[in-house]
Structure 1
Amino acid sequence: MTDITVPTLGESITEATVGQWLKAKGDQVKKDDVLVELETDKVSVEVSATEDGVLSEIIANEGDTVEIGAILGKLGEGSGAGAANGKSDTAADALPEHGGPKEKGGVPGKEDKGELMDVEVPTMGESVAEGTLSTFLKAPGDAVKKDETIAEIETDKVALEVPSPADGVLAELLVAEGDSVTPGSVIARINAGASAPAKSAAPAASAPAASTSTPAATGDRPVAPSVRRISSEAGVNPSDIPGTGKDGRATKADAMEYVNSAAKSAASSAPTQAKEPRDIGPREERVRMTRLRQTIARRLKEAQDTAAMLTTFNDVDMGAIMDLRKKHQDAFVAKHGIKLGFMSFFVKACVNALKEVPAVNAEIDGQDIIYKNFYDVGVAVGTEKGLVVPVVRDSDDLSLAGIEKAIANLGKKARDGELTIGDMQGGTFTISNGGIYGSLMSTPILNPPQSGVLGMHRIEQRPVAVNGEVKIRPMMYLALSYDHRIVDGKEAVTFLVRVKEALEDPERMLLEV
């Protein structure tokens, strides 16, 4: 008898509600069949069978509140359960008839196949409950090494790599590319210790298709339990939901987006219709946006829709900082092992200005303003997959060298696709440097729920008036976009002037005078 228990649901989640049992008492189940759905205030979790058998008992009923580790039901042995594990008495008794002594493991040739191990989806972060399996890097029958990447998963924030849990041979794939997956779900199995392709590798290629047999089908597309639940609660037809998953299947995210869109348009009493994709020409190509790109698009649009965004400009003479860097660069590198760049000066200047104008470091929460007495500065980094904003924590406590090292480390992780959710959460203010791409001037967009973002631009030799004389100076335009609901124009201009003053006289900034 095997207990069916509540899995770990996330760092801050301690209980869940039993949503729906998909199997009834006495039903025959296969390993990885979804037995029951759990609902929390953040995610919907599917609990699967850990082995073949029969659902012998249901302990937690639909609507019950259960804690992590609580027993939901019990799974008993049934027809085929023993054979599936390769341990049936019939097989064991038959071994002597084939000649030779019974092998220690009970089944001859087990050493060739190895021990079957599950490949599970790793934790994606506290606020990420679902991702899309974008690519399998290995095929059934391929040899793999421990920690070698088997698959890549895209979420709405980061791309994750799924490593092999052991040396061996990839035996089977349980999901297909494009399928939605959740933390802890099994996506493949490995014959650990095997040194040759397993015989079951060829038919295992059909596993991804077979794995979709659990969800019920509506029309021509199978529908996942979470999609059925969301559709039922919202009173919509699941077959109407445009899917972004494999073969056009709707994911939980698709269902939520469709239902939310329907709710927004209900006031106009116009029927919700999915926008039909237009026909493309012979010299055009249609490519599905990645989850990261979809999230970037959605969040940027949300920033425009929810914030009263305004931008103010100024320019700054970068000569003093350029002279300081040139004078001390060699000594700085010798002592700290990293070059002194411009970004550390900008972070320091912004922190000083944020302390004087705290509204720019605050956020709106309903009818309240939350003032933040810490300075976690996000630094926008462009990658091949899109723009990400990792955060330099407690920037006010760091030296110039500390800031440069933190930025270099985050930039490397971003380019290597190793950023975690924790690296990008909780920023209070953002700096975006469009100057590295040659931008002269721009209006940066807010990173909700933050109330301010500073845009840096390219340094350009321009004629300016200095003490009544026209001189050529290295000038940079600065742009501060801010939420006018919380930051007044006077505060925005004051903030930008303080940044300008600190950059043009960095010695006073560093001496805090």
Structure 2
Amino acid sequence: MASEVKVPTLGESVSEATLGEWLKQPGDAVAVDEPIASLETDKVAVEVPSPIAGVMGEHKVAEGATVEVGTVIAVVEEGGAAASSAASSAASPAPAASKADAPTKIAEPAGDGDPDDAPEAPDDQRRAIDGSSGKDGPADREMPTLSPAVRRLVLEHGIDPSRVQGTGKDGRLTKEDVLAAAKKQGEAPAPAPAAASPAPAAAKSAGGERAEERVKMTRMRQTIAKRLKSAQDTAALLTTFNDVDMTAVIAARTRYKDLFEKKHGVRLGFMGFFTKAACLALKDIPNVNAQIDGEEIVYHDYVDVSVAVSAPGGLVVPVIRNAEALSFADIEKTIGDFGARAKAGKLTMEDMTGGTFTISNGGVFGSLMSTPIINPPQSAVLGLHRIEDRPVAIDGKVEIRPMMYLALSYDHRLIDGREAVTFLKIIKDAIEDPTRLLIDL
């Protein structure tokens, strides 16, 4: 008996998605509720579970296709007869040749892979990536499924993917896994290719051969592009800057971080300070926490802070609800949970719905200064940057202090320059004197 697999409900106002990747192929054994496909919506990736235990049947939809809620995308055959047959067939001597003839499927990327040129690997390495055995016999182990972006990194760094433990979904390799393996490999000399092997990639590149890869944008990346461009086209964007002396916050963090972690089970980071400082400033300058709706201004008496988090498919902004009422520990726990679930692809639509103000920390990637773009319908975004020792004048003397640039991008239709400057000044004062956060100044 076969059961149909349909596109599940994806969330409020979301009616369609893109079939990003098949996690199970026809003939594969599946357990009840085991993910068999990954769908990409405008904001998150959603796994489609198997309704029954059995064997994966026909794929009704190809990868990359747009599907609506309720669409039948596959069938699962009940029982394990086909799986047992496939297993016994795999144990026979014949399958080695067929396995060599059938390269491992290359999955669509979870994120936006760079289209940089990728050097060509020697035969043995390329066979490992493609899943084929070459002239010397069948491959001796099951080769992992690789996305185009991961495949490019494997080729560039000369990594054998079958010898790297994947940390992604279902043990698949991620970019981070390949980069870690490349770092571990370090400066160890690569094994000399066999005499029959083709010339290395460098020699081929010198001969004029240049590779390109064309990858379809994920639905999430398309949505990010549309929303950011829409923000530029609709809002009157302006950015104002300030800098802040991080000495007091660094001292407080150094002094209390061990006690904080021991008591609350989470590390004390800088985001807790800036989130609390932002809540303080938003209370005094309510326009920064408001939004334009037609010819009306909507003011919020709560602060839902969208925190920009890096995920495999791109930048996502889960929301810290009622941040003004949360403690430092609650904020740090929430941010830590968002980061872990974003990396694992476990964020939900509800996690990213709403938000009245955004904080984006480009400093973790080394950014010195930027002009962030607002996340509509919000009216402002605070950009944090790297901490850098710089000479500053303190009481008439030059001292070296850990300084950070702050950037506030805002919709000038709603927020005046005076309000934007005042907002940043409140945050600057609170960070340079964290006692203000405790006494609401």
Structure 1 length-normalised TM: 0.60
Match of 2:296 in 1: 368
SS in structure 2 of the partner of residue 401 of structure 1: helix
Number of the residue aligned with 1:451:
379
Q: Do the aligned partners of 1:428 and 1:450 also contact (CA within 8 Å) in 2?
A: yes
Superposed, 1:91-170 pairs within 5 Å as 115-170=1-56
Which structure is higher in helix share?
2
| Counterpart code for 2:388 | E
Counterpart of 1:317? 245
CA-CA distance at 1:469 after TM superposition: 1.4
The reply on whether 1:481 has 2:367 as its aligned counterpart is no
SS at match of 1:448: coil
2:328 is the alignment partner of 1:442: no
Distance 2:78 2:332 in 1: 43
Find the partner of 1:399 among 316, 321, 327: 327
Q: CA deviation at 1:145?
A: 1.3
413, 424, 427: which is aligned to 2:352?
Answer: 424
Give me the whole-angstrom Cα distance separating, in 1, the residues matched to 2:381 and 2:81: 54
| Runs of 4+ with deviation above 4 angstroms | none
CA RMSD of aligned residues (A): 1.6
CA distance in 1, matches of 2:18, 2:408: 36
Q: Residue 430 of structure 1 aligns to which amino acid in structure 2?
A: T
Determine if contact 1:143/1:195 at 8 Å carries over to the other structure. Answer: no
CA distance in 2, matches of 1:139, 1:366: 49
Q: Distance in 1 between matches of 2:57 and 2:366?
A: 50
CA separation in 2, counterparts of 1:335 and 1:182?
47
Whether 2:67 is the aligned partner of 1:181: answer yes
Q: Which amino acid aligns with 1:346?
A: F
Alignment partner of 1:288: what SS? coil
CA distance in 1, matches of 2:52, 2:347: 24
> Conserved in 2, the CA contact under 8 Å of 1:171 and 1:198?
no
Deviation track 1:53-90 (CA, whole Å, cap 9, x = no partner) reads: xxxxxxxxxxxxxxxxxxxxxxxxxxxxxxxxxxxxxx
Considering only CA atoms, is the larger Rg found in Structure 1 or Structure 2? 1
1:172 matched to 2:58: yes
How many positions carry a matched residue from both structures? 319
SS at match of 2:259: helix
Q: Contact 2:303–2:323 (CA<8 Å) still a contact in 1?
A: yes
CA positional deviation for 1:502: 0.7
Note the alpha carbon deviations across 1:287-329, whole angstroms, 9 max, x for none. Answer: 2111111111111100100000000000000010100011111
Counterpart of 1:342 in structure 2: which amino acid? F
Other-structure match for 2:177: none
- Matched residues in 1 for 2:405 and 2:416: separation? 21
Name the structure 1 match of 2:430. Answer: 502
- Which of 63, 76, 96 aligns to 1:190? It is 76
**Counterparts of 1:389 and 1:366, CA distance in 2:** 24
Shift of 1:164: 1.4
Deviation, structure 1 residue 199: 9.2
- Helix, strand or coil for the counterpart of 1:419? coil
Contact 2:312 2:345 in 1 (8 A): no
Determine helix, strand or coil for the equivalent of 1:420.
coil
| 1:288 alignment partner in structure 2 | 216
Q: Which runs of 5+ in 2 are unaligned?
A: 87-208
Tell me the amino acid that sits aligned with residue 511 of structure 1.
I
Q: 2: distance between equivalents of 1:288 and 1:302?
A: 21
Q: Contact between 1:456 and 1:479, CA under 8 Å: does it hold in 2?
A: yes
Which amino acid in 2 is paired with 1:334? K
SS at match of 1:327: helix
Structure 1 unaligned blocks of 5 or more = 1-114, 201-280
Distance 2:363 2:65 in 1: 39
Higher strand share: 1
| Inter-partner Cα distance in structure 2 for 1:396 and 1:452 | 17
Please tell me the residue identity of whatever aligns with 2:271: M
Whichever residue aligns with residue 196 of structure 1, its letter is A
Distance in 2 between the 1:196 and 1:361 partners?
58
**2:4–2:74 contact (8 Å) kept in structure 1:** yes
Percent of aligned pairs sharing the same letter: 61
| Larger RCO (CA within 8 A; separation ≥ 6) | 2
Asked if 1:512 corresponds to 2:440, the answer is yes
What secondary structure does 2:82 align onto?
coil
Q: Write the distance in 2 (CA, Å) between the matches of 1:321 and 1:141.
A: 58
For 2:210 and 2:391, locate their aligned partners in 1 and report how far apart those are by CA, in whole Å. Answer: 50
Question: Which secondary structure does the structure 2 equivalent of 1:118 belong to?
Answer: strand
